[in-house]
Structure 1
Amino acid sequence: MLKVSRPNVYELNLDLFYDYRNNVKLYPEWQRYMRELQPAVLVVWGKNDEYFPESGANAF
């Protein structure tokens, strides 16, 4: 269940979930960008994160 209370967040998340297939297609391009340019990134993640599992955090 989506746990957000801001206006329109539910609709925005539906759009994001629907378009996830295009997100995955771009992974190689994003991974290349990260490797080559190494931009500063702050990743906030919690062990019980429902949306970004531990395996994804470790891979990142």
Structure 2
Amino acid sequence: MSPQHFLEMATFAFNLVGLVVCIIGLTLAHRTRHRWPGYLLAASGFLIAASPVLYQLIAGPAL
């Protein structure tokens, strides 16, 4: 199985995990005085959720 097929199957899981991590990060940034760890967690959640699309952009079209 190629990485492309794996990412197509796992896109929903990446989006769900990324969304949860992003929400946790934004909640942490909203409720504490130290906002940067929350913002970093939210950004990493966004990158997790966007990783299948970013991989498709980097890898190029599948043949």
Q: Same fold (TM over 0.5)?
A: no
Q: Which has the higher helix share?
A: 2
With normalisation by structure 2, the TM-score equals 0.34
Structure with the larger RCO, 1 or 2 (CA within 8 Å, 6+ apart): 2
